[in-house]
Amino acid sequence: MADVELRALTKEFPGGVRALDTLDLTVADGEFFALLGPSGCGKTTLLRTIAGLEAPTSGQVRIGDRDVTGLVPGARDVAMVFQDYALFPHMTVLDNIAYPLKIKRQSRPERSGRARGVGANLGLAALMDRRPAALSGGQQQRVALARAVACHPSVFLFDEPLSNLDARLRLEARTFLKRLQRELAVTTIFVTHDQAEALALADRIAVMEAGRIRQVGTPREVFGRPANTFVANFIGSTPMNLLPGVVSGGGVAVAGGTLTPSTITPPTAPGERVIVGVRPEYVSLSTTPVDGALTGEVSIIEHLGAVSLVTVEADGALIGATVPEDREPVPGSRVWLSPAPGRVLIYRESDGELVT
Amino acid sequence: MGWARLPAAEPALDAVATGATAAPAATMPAGRAGPATDVVGLGRWRALGFVTPGLVLIGVFLVFPALWTLYIGVTDYRLTGTAARAPQIVGLENYRRALTDPTFYRSMWLTLVFVLGSAVLGQNLLGFFFAYALRPARPAVRRLVEALVLLAWILPSSVVAFLWIAMLDRDGGTVNVLLGQVPGVAWLIEYPMVAIVVFNIWRGTAFSMMLYSAALSGVPPSQLETARLAGASTGQTLRDVILPNIRRYALTNTLLITLWTFNDFTPFLLTAGGPNHRSEVVAAYIYNTAIVGGEMGYSGAISLLVLLVNLLLALVYLRVARVRPA
């Protein structure tokens, strides 16, 4: 059991690519922590640097009260689950789970007993003598987890652990993974490019872009108040509306209308160019005129199950709003959109940072 | 089934066929096999025309010599003399003679030593070592070493044999000059087997190196990293991850280089089997028997025996390759 602390961590690959840029981060003991970002953002490099599979160019990695920056992976007391599970094809499930214990010179009965115990907890009891090739993807994933669990590390590192499973199985494995982490209470850092997965699993999320952390926060914070337009764009299964606007008088001129102070806190100086962000889930749609609402024509309706995403064209801008499945407007009709009070975010246009 | 009846393609194909010659496809009797029209529109006879040169070459240079060897193996056919003009059938006499001939057994034993020493151990291990050691090397270093090793493989046998004779010469040879003794050791005379084994390792390691390079690059990095995270040493990683992953490649490689080395004639260019048969591997023995000794019939019988040994080796390897580890 240990926390993980990164101090001014930098990783530069030969050729000058900066995968990690003076990164500071503390993951608390027992926390389930997600590194989220698009491909190439450095999240996997960060995970591999914590594991010791990559050496940082500068900076420090601390696990518990130890500085492990110079230690080989095997001395760091971490266990990693790879995206492809990395099971040894020529070993049985039992031998795979027991492998790290074998390297640690545990006797055969001791390590077999422990591997069987962990395997049984993860529902693998009937499969212990099979080889990985004779297992389904979900079973292979659990064997990889069991191998990590069996060596009782102080930190788990998961590299996209669910991305090789099909969509249905992924949801089950997600729930399973979260329960397992709760029970073991071992500090866990996992990498994902799937924002829904990060929101569902993590206690806290770090959203990364180009080797930097753009925001760290709980799923609620990251979803509800993205710190900048990058995070706003990345988080959420329906993309957030990000509309260019200009501060004027008591409100913001946007998409042919004006959002008045009743729905937003007026920011900064009049005349400043801003970007107004509001999630489609927080936009209410009306087929009758509403005071102070933006108005436009319905162009597209997408069915998302219990709700539908309606895209409205308002003065050249496209604005999304979700409506219950039985309240869909007619395509081409005129509708009025009003954002929920307190849910409108204002970003500076110059650097994309949140103003209020 | 298959290509014979493609209704959509047929008219166009016929047009192509009739345009050039007297419509071979159209004038073919429509037998049970259907009209001889194929997707390329050649027709049976022109297709045969394209295949014939290849078949003739294979027949003349592969099938005929093989059958001819079978035939002369049961005769007393010689290069010169009466037996050359009118060879007599002697039945299995040549085979009886071979199986009771100590020189034949000695050549088989020398071949075994040659194959084990230079191929199964030498090329295999050295090739794996090069491939393994060059993985973390800088690309420039890797390419240079690979190029040098490959050079030994692609040069013509007669050229490298001459180079080695010059290198191992007693009076002015490079090795003796380097050792600072002129005249020094007559390597090819005093250590003929060692010489051809070392020569063949040098000559053939490139293939094993390339094959193992490919095999090693196929070992999933995540498995290697899992071993690293578990704290496995280099030896443990080799034993538990790398070797099990490249096992099949190793068997294939061993089979190929075994058969190649078994039938390799190049040692003859260095030592001619001598001195006094001390490096006379079967390939050299057959040559010495047939061309130098003139006993074509006897050498034909030996060749067939060697072929059977080759088949046996191949079967053993294929059998081993099929068995899954317990």
Determine, for residues A90 and B244 on separate chains, whether the beta-carbon distance falls below 8 Å: yes
Among residues A52, A324, A351, A106, the alpha carbon closest in space to that of A230 is found at A351
Q: Quick one: average pLDDT of A143-159?
A: 91
pLDDT band at B130 (very low <50, low <70, confident <90, very high): very high
Q: Which residues in chain A are contacts of B244 at CB distance < 8 A?
A: 88-90
Q: Pick from B229, B232, B245: which is nearest to A79 by CB? A: B229
d(CA B268, CA B247) in angstroms, rounded, equals 33
Residues A223 and A245 in one domain: no
Assess if residue A74 is contained within a domain: yes
Assess if residue A356 is contained within a domain: no
In CATH, what number is assigned to the domain containing residue A76?
3.40.50.300
Question: What three-state secondary structure class fits A99?
Answer: helix
**What's residue B28's pLDDT?**
45
Residues A145 and A200 in one domain: yes
Determine, for residues A78 and B220 on separate chains, whether the beta-carbon distance falls below 8 Å: no
Determine, for residues B225 and A86 on separate chains, whether the beta-carbon distance falls below 8 Å: yes
Q: Is the pLDDT of residue A219 over 80?
A: yes
d(CA B296, CA A46) in angstroms, rounded, equals 73
Assess if residue A236 is contained within a domain: no
In CATH, what number is assigned to the domain containing residue A297?
2.40.50.140
Assess if residue A73 is contained within a domain: yes
On average, the pLDDT of chain B sits at 84
Q: For chain A, positions 102-121, list CB contacts with chain B under 8 A.
A: 103-104
- Domains in chain A, number: 2
**What's residue A346's pLDDT?**
86
Q: How many CA atoms lie within 13 A of B158 on its CB side?
A: 0
Residues A278 and A192 in one domain: no
Q: Which residues in chain A are contacts of B220 at CB distance < 8 A?
A: 84, 86
CA torsion sign, A216 to A219 to A225 to A230? positive
d(CA A131, CA A93) in angstroms, rounded, equals 6
**What's residue B236's pLDDT?**
93
**Edge-to-edge strand order for the sheet containing A4-13?**
A17-27, A4-13, A58-63, A66-67
- What domains appear along chain B, each with residue ranges and CATH number? 10-72 (no CATH), 101-322 (1.10.3720.10)
d(CA A225, CA A147) in angstroms, rounded, equals 38
Assess if residue A354 is contained within a domain: no
pLDDT band at A122 (very low <50, low <70, confident <90, very high): confident
Q: Are A213 and A27 in contact (CB under 8 A)?
A: no
Q: Is the pLDDT of residue A271 over 80?
A: no
Residues A256 and A308 in one domain: yes
Sequence-distant (≥ 6) Cβ neighbours of residue B239 within 8 angstroms: none
pLDDT, tens digit, 9 for 90 and up, residues A125-139: 889 999 999 998 889
Q: Which residues in chain B are contacts of A78 at CB distance < 8 A?
A: 229
Among residues B291, B298, B295, B300, the alpha carbon closest in space to that of B268 is found at B291
Task: Write down the residue that tokens 């019939």 correspond to.
Answer: B297
Residues A344 and A208 in one domain: no
Question: What three-state secondary structure class fits A84?
Answer: coil
Residues A161 and A51 in one domain: yes
Q: Which token pair is B238?
A: 């080799």
**What's residue B20's pLDDT?**
41
pLDDT, tens digit, 9 for 90 and up, residues B12-38: 444 444 444 444 444 444 444 555 567
Q: Is A330 on the interface with B (CB under 8 A)?
A: no
Q: How many CA atoms lie within 13 A of B210 on its CB side?
A: 12
Q: How many CA atoms lie within 13 A of B183 on its CB side?
A: 5
Residues A260 and A295 in one domain: yes
Angle of helix B192-217 relative to helix B157-167, nearest 10 degrees? 130
Closest chain A residue to B227, measured at CA: A100
Task: Characterise A92 by phi-psi region: left (phi > 0), alpha (psi -120 to 50), beta (else).
Answer: beta
Last residue of a domain, one of A228, A256, A272: A228
Neighbours of B53 (CB within 10 A): 9
Q: Quick one: average pLDDT of A80-87?
A: 92
| A326, burial (CB in 10 Å: exposed 0-12, middle 13-18, buried 19+) | exposed
Last residue of a domain, one of A176, A199, A228: A228
Burial A131-152 (b: 16+ CB within 10 A, else e): bbeebeebbbbbbbbbbbbbbe
**What's residue A151's pLDDT?**
86
**What's residue B107's pLDDT?**
93
**What's residue A168's pLDDT?**
82
Residues A61 and A191 in one domain: yes
Residue A235: DSSP 8-state: S
Closest chain B residue to A87, measured at CA: B223
Backbone torsions φ then ψ of A20, nearest 5 degrees: -130, 135
**What's residue A264's pLDDT?**
57
Residues A50 and A187 in one domain: yes
pLDDT band at A316 (very low <50, low <70, confident <90, very high): confident
Determine the structural domain holding residue A262 and report its residue range.
241-348
Assess if residue A54 is contained within a domain: yes
CA of A10: how far to CAs of A24, A99, A188, in Å? 10, 32, 21
Q: Which residues in chain B are contacts of A86 at CB distance < 8 A?
A: 220, 222-223, 225-226
Q: Is the pLDDT of residue A171 over 90?
A: no
pLDDT band at A263 (very low <50, low <70, confident <90, very high): low
User: Is ipTM strictly over 0.90?
Assistant: no
Task: Give me the total of CB pairs closer than 8 Å, taking one residue from chain A and one from chain B.
Answer: 62
CA distance A323 to chain B (A): 45
Residues A220 and A287 in one domain: no
Residues A180 and A206 in one domain: yes
pLDDT band at A345 (very low <50, low <70, confident <90, very high): confident
Q: How many CA atoms lie within 13 A of A262 on its CB side?
A: 7
Closest chain A residue to B241, measured at CA: A88
Q: Is A145 on the interface with B (CB under 8 A)?
A: no
Last residue of a domain, one of A228, A251, A267: A228
Closest chain B residue to A52, measured at CA: B229
CA of B189: how far to CAs of A327, B103, B143, in Å? 99, 19, 36
Contacts 24+ apart (CB under 8 A), B135-143: B135/B216
Among residues A327, A240, A241, A321, the alpha carbon closest in space to that of A284 is found at A321
| B100, burial (CB in 10 Å: exposed 0-12, middle 13-18, buried 19+) | exposed
Residues A285 and A341 in one domain: yes
pLDDT, tens digit, 9 for 90 and up, residues B189-214: 889 999 999 999 999 999 999 999 99
**What's residue B87's pLDDT?**
80
